[in-house]
Structure 1
Amino acid sequence: MKREGRFAIFVAWVLLILAFPRPFVPPALAVAVAGSSLSDDDSPPLPYEREEFPDWARDLRRGEIVAIGSFPLAVILSGIGLQLGRFAVKSLEEGQFSQEYAPFFFSTRTGSQYNQEERVGLLISAGIISVGVAVADYILGRRERKAAAARRE
């Protein structure tokens, strides 16, 4: 049943792709676009000016970049924290060190795998940590800008 279902999905995708032709570009538009790139007065693009975007938009973009950039590290740290916490709880329940739940750096084996609930908790905690890093970056940056403005005055 699974194999037949996968094949049916594959066939549906192939038919969907073949049913719609490639995007049509009118010849007049193609000539206009090609002609505009061949003009003699081409100038290199200018960098953005500080006044082009409001401060809140720049802060939001920086926060997005920091949050997305810190997410992989937050996943690693959350995973280590989850493994240590699970090891401590299971060891206390058994009254001795639980070799089955030992974190990867304490165990000779790979340890027990995460269940679905633990995976979701891991990703949620990593998201919270990465958003926290972005908020901390925003607060520190705002404080730094205020101090720089006070020094200029």
Structure 2
Amino acid sequence: MKRGIALVLTFVLVTGFLPAQTTTTNDSGTEPVPYEKDEFPSWQSDIRRAEIIAFGSLPFVTFMTSLTYDIYRYIDHDQQDEYLPWPMKEKEIAEPLSEDDQKKILLISVGVAIGVALFDYGFRAIRRHIRQSRQERRNREAQPVIIIEEIDDALPAVPEEL
């Protein structure tokens, strides 16, 4: 039994080090290619940007929300030393945040981060609409260019004197 387990274990460990692909090729088809500008629709790019902004702003918003909540809690409890805001808290006498308070801070932070992302989305949508309307107005106001070409076998504009 022990011998069988040892053989299986040895087989698994030895085959783990063997390469899965024996030949190496440098085909350009396996190299990653950067995305093109128009590869994704604009709504997909906007959603991705909103996601990045929401998750990117979350740590900063959480820090500011936590600090603001500490100040609010200090004022709400008649400025008692147990509820001093974060930079001035004394570890020995500080009253810790309850689980409910921590949930409130997290929910407020998530809401503000989503609000920041929605604001950015709205701002960019309005700016894009303004750009498009300006371009459409320029296209409407543009005068068509008239190109005059000379015709070789045409009669001369001024008759020659005989």
With the length of structure 1 as denominator, give the TM-score of the two structures.
0.67
Q: List per-residue Cα deviations over 1:50-97 (Å, max 9, x = no partner).
A: 321111110110001000100011101110121111112111xxxxx3
1:101 is aligned with what amino acid? Answer: Y
Distance (whole Å) between structure 2 residues aligned to residue 129 and residue 118 of structure 1: 16
Where does residue 138 of structure 1 map in the other structure? 121
Where does residue 109 of structure 1 map in the other structure? 90
2:82 is aligned with what amino acid? Answer: E
Structure 1 residue 47: deviation in Å?
A: 2.9
Distance (whole Å) between structure 1 residues aligned to residue 71 and residue 46 of structure 2: 35
For the structure 1 residues 108 and 49, does the alpha-carbon distance in structure 2 shift closer, same or farther, using more than 3 Å as the test?
A: closer
For 1:65-104, what aligned pairs fall within 5 Å after superposition? 65-91=52-78, 97-104=79-86
Distance (whole Å) between structure 2 residues aligned to residue 30 and residue 124 of structure 1: 49
1:133 is aligned with what amino acid? Answer: V
Return the index of the structure with the highest Cα Rg.
2
Match of residue 112, structure 2, among 122, 126, 129: 129
CA RMSD after TM alignment:
2.8
Match of residue 119, structure 1, among 102, 123, 130: 102
Where does residue 42 of structure 2 map in the other structure? 55
Q: Is the 8 A contact 2:53 2:116 kept in 1?
A: yes
With the length of structure 2 as denominator, give the TM-score of the two structures.
0.64
Determine which structure has the larger helix proportion and give its number. 1
Identity of aligned residues (%): 25
1:55 is aligned with what amino acid? Answer: S
Query: What are the ranges of 5 or more consecutive residues in structure 1 without an aligned counterpart?
Result: 1-17, 92-96
Distance (whole Å) between structure 1 residues aligned to residue 84 and residue 19 of structure 2: 68
2:21 is aligned with what amino acid? Answer: A
Structure 1 residue 125: deviation in Å?
A: 0.9
Structure 1 residue 28: deviation in Å?
A: 9.8
For the structure 1 residues 28 and 72, does the alpha-carbon distance in structure 2 shift closer, same or farther, using more than 3 Å as the test?
A: closer
After TM superposition, the structure 1 stretch with the greater mean CA deviation from structure 2, 109-118 or 126-135, is 109-118
Query: What are the ranges of 5 or more consecutive residues in structure 2 without an aligned counterpart?
Result: 1-8, 137-162
Q: List per-residue Cα deviations over 1:102-121 (Å, max 9, x = no partner).
A: 2134x362432211111111
